[in-house]
Copies of this chain bind each other. A is one copy, B any other.
Amino acid sequence: MSKFSLLCIALLLFFSCGKTQTPNTNFEPKPEFSIVIHGGAGPIKKGNIPPEIEAKIEAKLEEAIKKGYDILKNGGTSLDAVQQTIMVLEDSPLFNAGKGAVFTNEETNEHDTSIMDGKTLNAGASSGTTIVKNPINLARAVMDNSPHVMLSGKGAETFAKEQGLQIVEPSYFYTERNFKELIWVKENENKNASKKTAYHNEKLKGSKFGTVGCVALDKDGNLAAGTSTGGMTNKRWGRIGDSPIIGSGTYANNNTCAISSTGWGEYFIRAQVAHDISALMDYKGLSLKQASKEVLAKVKTLGGDGGVIAIDKNGNMVFEFNTEGMFRASMNDKGKLIIGMYKE
């Protein structure tokens, strides 16, 4: 065999294996840590949101992400950063989670949440709680202090009490804005289709979105992801969306990435959004950006929409959404803060 042929073989072997070794075209050094958050995706268009609300949302996103950033900067774990960042968002009435959860058809507020540890693949989740002030703390407690991954309803509330988590009256979750939205959705969902305007349809569609989430990489190289939501306005029959479903709303694996989803939950479950992004990186060698785009394209094909935030094991951060907008923010280890709402 000629030297040339051997060279051919060597070159071809090199390139044929390239699929699983996507070259790093990002020559920035790997960040020591990084963090990304979202406050929901949906029909978020410039002009739809009054400037004073826009400013409040921006300020709260900044407050939340800085909470997690400080934890990571001080050598804290990605799990703690995710949990405490989400707590800030849950305590605000601005987002569809915790205090700001939307109303169900029965005029209650039911919370779904999950958290996952990329190091151990341990996870915790709960669905349908109505009195736990910070559902993300319940997800963490399920992961850390129970033999289970997912608890639900009254049973999950009993566990929350046993764990000493902060319990509130259901009325704590009342917000006038969300209650009015429920009334509007109930009145309008079944109106004659021909009478529906584009605005009407958009508003109805908006009632499906919300949710907050956070993903983080800590100084030890551990990834974590968490998600918390009140679900969709007017949800009924104990509906569970993607947010408390490991692999759909939340997934973290130190070998690949950490993901939190937000969008039309049913489609995110059917498309297995969070785990599919990880699998495309793991088995097909896609970058985090490529994998996120590909999976959201699948969601679109099925008929759904929404977005994801993600961090890979090298600290690369991704916002990706196929809605009009997504409330979002990121910070790297240099403290560089990016906040966004609309399409760029």
Could you list which residues of chain A lie within 8 angstroms of chain B, going by C-beta atoms? 1-2, 4-5, 8-9, 12-13, 16-17, 121-123, 127-128, 146-156, 158-159, 235-241, 245-248, 251, 265-266, 269-272, 275-276, 279-280, 282-284, 302
Contacts and interface: CB of A to CB of B under 8 A. Distances in A.
A225 B258 CA distance: 28
Contact of A151 (B239, B279, B280): B239
Nearest to A148: B239
Contacts of A245: 150, 245-247
Contacts of A284: 283-284
A2 B152 CA distance: 68
13 contacts: A5-B8, A12-B16, A122-B270, A127-B240, A146-B237, A148-B235, A153-B153, A155-B237, A245-B245, A272-B275, A279-B279, A279-B283, A280-B283
A238 to B, nearest CB: 3
Contact of A237 (B8, B156, B246): B156
Instruction: State the oligomeric state as a number of copies.
Output: 2
A248 B155 CA distance: 22
B4 A240 contact: no
Contact of A13 (B5, B16, B146, B276): B16
Contacts of A127: 152, 240
A283 B155 CA distance: 39
B8 A236 contact: no
B5 A148 contact: no
A14 B312 CA distance: 32
A240 B16 contact: no
A152 B240 contact: yes
Contact of A270 (B121, B276, B280): B121
Sorted nearest first, the 8 A-B pairs with minimum C-beta distance are: A155-B238, A16-B16, A279-B279, A283-B283, A152-B238, A155-B237, A159-B237, A283-B284
A152 B149 contact: no
Contacts of A265: 149
A279 B273 CA distance: 12
